[in-house]
Structure formats: C-alpha cells, structure tokens
A and B are shown apart, each in its own frame.
Chain A
Amino acid sequence: MHRRSFLPLCGLFCVSDAVLAQTTVAPNAAAMLAASDAIRNPSQPFSVTVTLTEFQAGKQIDTSTLTSYSRIQPNGQFASLVRFVQPARDAGKLMLKNGNDMWFYDPASKASVRLSPQQRLLGQASNGDVATVNLARDYTATLAATEDIKDGERQTRRAHKLALAASAPDVTYASIELWVDAADNRPIKARFYAESSRLLKTAYYRRFQPQLGANRPTETVIIDGLNPQSVTLLRLSDYTARDIPQTWMQRDFLPRFQPD
C-alpha cells in the first residue's frame, strides 16, 4: 500500500484514511483466524491417533483410541474417516464425517447408519465438530478485544479475542469466541455458542508440539457448556502425512476400508 502517495491528498480524501484503517484491521482478524486454523490442522491429508478420555464429575468413565484420516475436501471443509481401535469391543468400527453428514459403520454386522443432527446432540459425536473444523471457511471474524487470559496450562497469555459469526447456513455453532495468542496466532481457547446465545462447549488447546511442520495443539480439553461436570480430553499423537484419496470419504467405501 502506497500510503505516502495518499498523504498529500489527505485533505480531500480524509475518509479514505478511515477506510484504510478499517481495511487494515478486518483482514487481520480473518488472517488471524486462518493462521490459527493452519496451526490446528495440517493442510495436507494426514492421519492421527486420537485418544479420547471422558470424565464425569471428576471421575474417568470412558476411554477410547481412534485413528482419524482427514483431508480437506475440494469445497474447503474437512472430511474425516475415523476408525475405532480401543476398546476391543469397538475395534474396527468406522465413522465418516463429511460436512454435515455423519455415518457409522459396523464391520461385524456390515450395517451403516446415518446419524442425523438430532442424534448427534449428545456424546462424542457432538465433539466431532469441535476437533476438525475449518473455521475460516464457515465463519466471519471480527476482533472483539485484546486481553490476558489463562491458557490450557494455566499460564497467562496475551490473546486476541475473535468473535466469529456463522456465515454459512448449515454450521453447527451459531457463534464462536476464539482466543488466539497475540504473538503467534496459536488457538488458546474457544467457546461455542448456540443460536440462543447459550454456551454449548468450551475448548482449551494445549500441549503444543511440533507435528507435521508446525507447533500444533496435541491436547484439546472440551468442557460441556450445559454440564460443566462433563469433560472430554482429546489427545492427538502420531501425526502422519499420507495420501488419502477422495474416494475414501464416501459411505459406500466404508465396507471396503482396510487399515494399513
């Protein structure tokens, strides 16, 4: 931007300065959002081992291990094929999340079931929308504040608070508050709200480790907004870049899936 060339014309075009000032802040918020997305998830197709631990009222009630194969679809949104590894009773079961469709497949009975949005209100299926989601695509960001917050490891950090409003009609959360680190755009904390402005989930991103080319949060703590006693810990490990073809992300492929 050649601001110096505009200065002589300031008297006639002083409004342009204000416009310039706005245009330099707004892409900042969008850029911050895009940067935090890039930190959370790699842009190339990858597989990751997810360890899910559920706590209720301070006691662990369930734990499972999944392998997730994710890629960004041509429309910009994430699609994930998840394979259950632990516990043994669930080993081999598959879940496919492609946009708003979620399919569940059981190889023992060869049955596949589509989970409707109604059926995804509770349980781990509702956490799928928090883990891999491309926020920049579905939300418009505005900078709400810059403040100090305690991050997932209870350290105080300076963060930009972004207010995200849904721009696509079919997103799960009507609005999100996202705190990104002022220094390096790491996502620190996110609050997910329903249309009635009730808090549905809170997520803390922690344990940043170098994985696949960037420092990514390898642990996400999801606290249920309606029932704060319910906490889910998502631990991500063994990020591997791999070739995941588009054909995997279809319901018809589920019976033919072979893990390698």
Chain B
Amino acid sequence: MMTLSLAIRNLLRNRRRSLATLLAMAIGAASILLFGGFSGNIILEMHTRNVQRGGHLQIQHRDFFLFGSGNPTAYGISDYNDIIKAIQSDDVLENLIAVVTPTLQFGGIAGNYAASVSRTVIGTGYVASDINRMRSWNDFGLRSKAPVSVLAGAPPETAVVGVGVARVLQMCDALHVDKCAPPQVKADDNASALPDDIAQLSLQESVATPLGPARHIEVLIVNSRGAPNVTALEVIQAEDQGIKELDEITLITHLEKIQKLVYGAAQPRVTSIVIQLRHSDQLEIARQRLQPILDRYSSHQPLALMDFRMLNPFFVQTEQMFDTIFGFVFLLIGAIVLFTVNNTMNTAVVERTVEIGTLRAIGLRRVGIRRLFVTEGALLGICGAALGVLLALLLSELINRLDIPWVPPSMVEPVPLTILVSSNPALILKTTLGLICIATLSAWWPAYRAAKLSVVDALRHV
C-alpha cells in the first residue's frame, strides 16, 4: 500500500512529464481501439452480407464445393423436399432457424440476339419469396440495409442480372444502368457480304421467330442429359453485386423455371439447401442437430454440411488480414509506448539518484526500489489506457454521429462510417491489458538499473 501511495506521489511530483507520457499512451490506446472498431465493423458487415446471401449453413453434395463449378447440375440433391421437411419438423432447429430454402446453380449462356451479343453466365435459381426474407437478417443491428430484390412477386419468366451482364448484353438503357456507353464497333467495310440467295433464306427464318423487346434474353443451357436447351427470360433489374467479376456473370431467376429447363420431365433437383439461423453463435448447435438428418438421407448421395466460412474463403481471408494489420498496429503502438515509458522512467531514475541512494541507505532493499519504479510504470500504464479508452469512446461516438458515407469493399451502396468500440468489450479489455503490460515491462529495466546502483556513489551523485 505504501508502494502504491509513494508511486502516486512520485508521479505527481513532475506533473508535466507524467501528463506527457499519459497523453502519449492515451493517444496510442485510442488509435488501437479506433482501428479495432473500424475493422470490426467491416468484418461484421461482410459477415452480415454473407449470411444474407448464402445463409449460415448449406447442405450440398459432398463434391459440389470443390468440383461443381465445372458442371453444377451434375451435383444435384434429389430428395431435397424431404430433407427440408425433416429440418422444419425438428423442434430444436425450429427455434434456431430463420429461413430454409433450396437453390439451384447452373452455368449457361445468356444472349441478347437483337444486339448479337451473348455472355456466359453462372445463374442461380431461388424461391423468390425467400430472397428478401434472407436479406432482412440483421442480427448485429448494422445501419446498412441490403437492397430489396424485385424478383419476389415477379412472374416466373423473369430474371435479375448483374450490372456487368447488362452492360455486355447492351441492355443498359432498358435497365437504367448508368456509366455504360455502347462499345464502338469498328465496321469492317472490306468484309464480303452474304450471298443474296442465302440472305433470302436467312430473312425467311427471321420472320418466323420475331425478336422480343429490349429486356428479353435467351438463356442457353445444357440440360442434365447433355443436350442444349433454351428459354427466354425477361430481365427486370440489373443489380450491382459489389464485385466486378461477379457482376459480369450473375443471373438470378426462379427455381421452378430453371429446374424445368435443366431436368425437364425428370425429377427436379437442387444444388444446395440454404439454412439461415437467427443468431450466428448458434451455428455449432444447429450443425449438431443437422448432421443426423443428413446421415439419414445420405444413403445414395454423399451430402456435406458447409458453413458460410468454408463457402466464403474471401471473408476468412479478409478477417485474417485485418487481424494481422491489427497485430501490426498494436506492435507499433506498443513499441512507442514502450519507448515513451522507458524514457520517462530512465529520466526519473537519473534525476532521483540521490533519493535512491538515501532510500537504500535507510534500509530499503533492492527489491523495494524495483517495486517502486515498476509500480510507477504500471500506474502510468493504467491511467494512460483508461484515458485512451475514454478518448476512443468519445471519438467513435462522434464519428458515428457524423454519418460519413463510404463504400466498403464488396458492398454496393454507401454506408455510414461506423466504428464499433463501445459494443466490443473484448477489444477494450485486450488493448488495456496489453498496454498496461507493456508499460510495466518497459519500467522494469530502469527499475533494475536503479536497484543496482551502488549506495555510496548514489549518495554522492550531483
């Protein structure tokens, strides 16, 4: 107790120096916390977006994730309706699950033959009403909202495409996509023309099949038996997917329509059953309950349960990247704090050499000297960290209220800049403890040097 009160009084002896050190520590702590809050928010946004799009868990054919991109429809699940019924009738899962819905992924070619252009697309068929139910998930209370899909309630022959698809298929005007000038096609005047008699034949055929209005596309796919099949769809919206590569291949349409196209009269299948839970932390419980259901239906097709982290490696990589950057920032600021406190304590030791000599002369052990200085360092750490936390809370509150708009990576619309410090007690605790440890450690070496001083020389120090 004596040590503590002595340490406090010693710190107060040179207020200016103590304050400067405290401030340096506080700014350091606040920086770490603000960055942690910023990256934490981005991670939560990406987490929310991934769960809105693809749910928490997906039941798929075991090989679909690794090999399905070459030929998605070959990895269909045949009795998906029974599996969904089994999931919905389980009493534990009933409380955990928000949405269960089947989806079918397929590859094909979308063409706008009025403009003679086509594009390979990777399409997904959804039960349209479930898309918006899934997009309303917002367990973390974020201020950004997912766009409402217009596919729900639209007739079955409709589709939504990515902005890139609309651009390549030259449907920008029809779909109100901006920043999209039609490409300058160099007219090759030297090319020889189609012979007239063949041109007549071609004209005959054109009359037979009139081309639809500007928003119609033909989607050509290979059905489950390897033969081409084609249907016409009306595109009702071009939706920005956030990532250019996704924009250029995405086609979203109704599940039944695509099933009929791919499987014809045969039994329809789906490529995955999407399960969205109410809360992300219940994922493991849900997984335990789902595994026996899967085993029951795995007799003739190997099924696997994939969680959204496995399905979205980009999300995991981003998480890891932010964690690494956070580690860097912490190390950097920790080094600065180390140096600052070290500097302060060293100066204090040099200044108080006579005092140390006196203390030793009147009987204080080396241990006592060390303890004294280390306590001073620790106190600086505690106060600095506390001040830093306060500063960070104030600043984050201020920034959040300013509603600065920005577009995070892989998001579509600007969202208000949010820094989550107050809702992240783990971050605050870790940072505080870390900085206190660093401050204490950095005071150790000067304390050691102080304790090693020879008493007689110290007393005589000028």
Instruction: Give the B-binding residues of A (Cβ under 8 A).
Output: 55-61, 100, 116-118, 121-122, 126, 150, 152-154, 169-174, 194-196, 198-200, 202, 204, 221, 223, 225-231, 233
Contacts and interface: CB of A to CB of B under 8 A. Distances in A.
B228 A172 contact: yes
A198 B230 contact: yes
B298 interface: no
Interface in B215-236: 218, 220-223, 225-232
Contacts, number: 111
8 contacts: A118-B107, A121-B220, A122-B109, A153-B197, A170-B225, A198-B229, A228-B209, A229-B113
Contacts of A58: 193-194, 199
Interface in B221-264: 221-223, 225-232, 260-261, 264
Nearest to B210: A228
B363 to A, nearest CB: 88
- Which of A55, A60, A121 has the most B CB atoms < 10 Å from its CB? A121
Contact of A196 (B108, B204, B229): B229
Contacts of B226: 100, 117, 170, 172
B109 A116 contact: no
Contact of A194 (B70, B193, B200, B229): B229
9 A-B pairs closest in CB distance? A227-B113, A228-B206, A117-B226, A55-B194, A59-B191, A194-B229, A117-B222, A198-B230, A118-B222
A194 B201 contact: no
A195 B116 contact: no
B138 interface: no
B71 A116 contact: yes
Contacts of B228: 117, 121, 126, 172-173, 194, 200
B198 interface: yes
A196 B70 CA distance: 24
B185 to A, nearest CB: 10
Interface of B: 70-71, 107-109, 111, 113, 116, 118, 188, 191-194, 197-202, 204-206, 208-209, 218, 220-223, 225-232, 260-261, 264
A121 B106 CA distance: 14
Contacts of B229: 174, 194-196, 198
Contacts of A230: 116
Given A118-B71, A170-B225, A196-B231, A60 B194 contact: yes
A228 B206 CA distance: 5
If over half of B's interface residues share one DSSP class (helix, strand or loop), that class is named, otherwise mixed; here it is: mixed
B264 A231 contact: no
A171 B229 CA distance: 12
Nearest to A204: B201
Nearest to B200: A154
A96 to B, nearest CB: 17
B428 to A, nearest CB: 53
Given A61-B191, A118-B107, 15 more contacts: A55-B198, A56-B116, A58-B194, A58-B199, A121-B221, A121-B228, A122-B118, A153-B197, A170-B225, A172-B228, A198-B232, A199-B208, A200-B230, A227-B113, A228-B206
A198 B231 contact: yes
A60 B113 contact: no
Contacts of A170: 225-227
Contacts of A169: 225
Nearest to A225: B209
A193 B245 CA distance: 33
A133 to B, nearest CB: 13
B191 A172 contact: no
Nearest to B70: A116
A199 B209 contact: yes
B116 A226 contact: no
Contact of B227 (A60, A116, A194, A227): A194
B227 A226 contact: no
A200 B230 CA distance: 8
Contacts of B221: 121
Nearest to B72: A118
A196 to B, nearest CB: 5
B191 A226 contact: no
A55 B188 CA distance: 13
A228 B202 contact: yes
Contacts of A223: 201-202, 205
Contacts of B231: 196, 198
B193 A154 contact: no
A229 B116 contact: yes
A192 to B, nearest CB: 9
A100 B188 CA distance: 37
A60 B222 CA distance: 28
A58 B204 CA distance: 14
B198 A121 contact: no
A195 B199 CA distance: 28
Nearest to A231: B202
A244 B222 CA distance: 32
A173 B186 CA distance: 36
A226 B194 contact: no
Given A226-B113, A226-B230, A195 B264 contact: yes
A64 B47 CA distance: 52
A121 B107 CA distance: 11
Given A60-B194, A199-B209, A121 B109 contact: yes
A13 to B, nearest CB: 38
Given A57-B116, A118-B222, A170-B225, A229 B230 contact: no
A170 B227 CA distance: 7
Given A199-B209, A226-B111, A60 B193 contact: yes
A171 B226 CA distance: 8
B227 A121 contact: no
Contacts of A227: 111, 113, 116
Contacts of B220: 121-122, 226
Contacts of A196: 229-231, 260-261
A16 B209 CA distance: 44
Name the residue in B109, B201, B205, B228 with the highest tally of chain A Cβ atoms < 10 Å from its Cβ: B228
Given A56-B116, A60-B194, A228 B205 contact: yes
